[in-house]
Amino acid sequence: MTEKEEFINSLKNRTKKLAADIIDFCDTLKNCKASSVVIYQIVKSSSSTGANYRAACRARSKAEFYSKICIVVEEADETEYWLELIHDTNLSSESKELARLTKEANEITRIMSKARSSAGGNNK
């Protein structure tokens, strides 16, 4: 396996793990009406990050890759938003896990943003 293939597989695993960890984390949130909305949204955005990254890796063209990677960036950033909202509204008492998830979502957003910039530069 090449270094590039290892990196791609690593990102596939990281994005899937983020979604799985967020699903587990949601079980620790306060039980209230707002939590159900936040849980729905963050599970959607975090799982979409990984699913769309996998789709980007199977893109049939540079344009298709760019389109999918744009979605990945948007969904990863949205995941960060929901984590920030959980923090700001004290929906979780698990501050260490919330900080870890926020850091991971931010790192994934930054990596995918760099990939988007590189892919966009190749399409011009």
Residues 89-123 have pLDDT tens digits of 999 999 999 999 999 999 999 999 999 999 885 44
> Which tokens sit at 73?
């960036």
Report how many domains make up the chain.
1
Quote the pLDDT of residue 123. 47
Q: pLDDT at residue 72 above 70?
A: yes
Helices (H), the chain: 3-26, 33-57, 62-88, 95-123
> pTM of the entire structure?
0.91
What CATH number does the domain containing 19 carry? 1.20.1440.60
pLDDT band at 124 (very low <50, low <70, confident <90, very high): very low
> How far, rounded to the nearest angstrom, does the alpha carbon of residue 15 sit from its chain's CA centroid?
6
Quote the pLDDT of residue 121. 57
Name the more confident of 121 and 44.
44
- The residue-averaged pLDDT of 40-49 equals 98
pLDDT in tens, 5-41: 999 999 999 999 999 999 999 999 999 999 999 999 9
Q: How many residues appear in the chain?
A: 124
18 contacts 101 by C-beta, under 8 angstroms:
yes
Quote the pLDDT of residue 1. 83
Burial of 90 (0-12, 13-18, 19+ CB in 10 A): exposed
**Domain encompassing residue 97:** 3-123
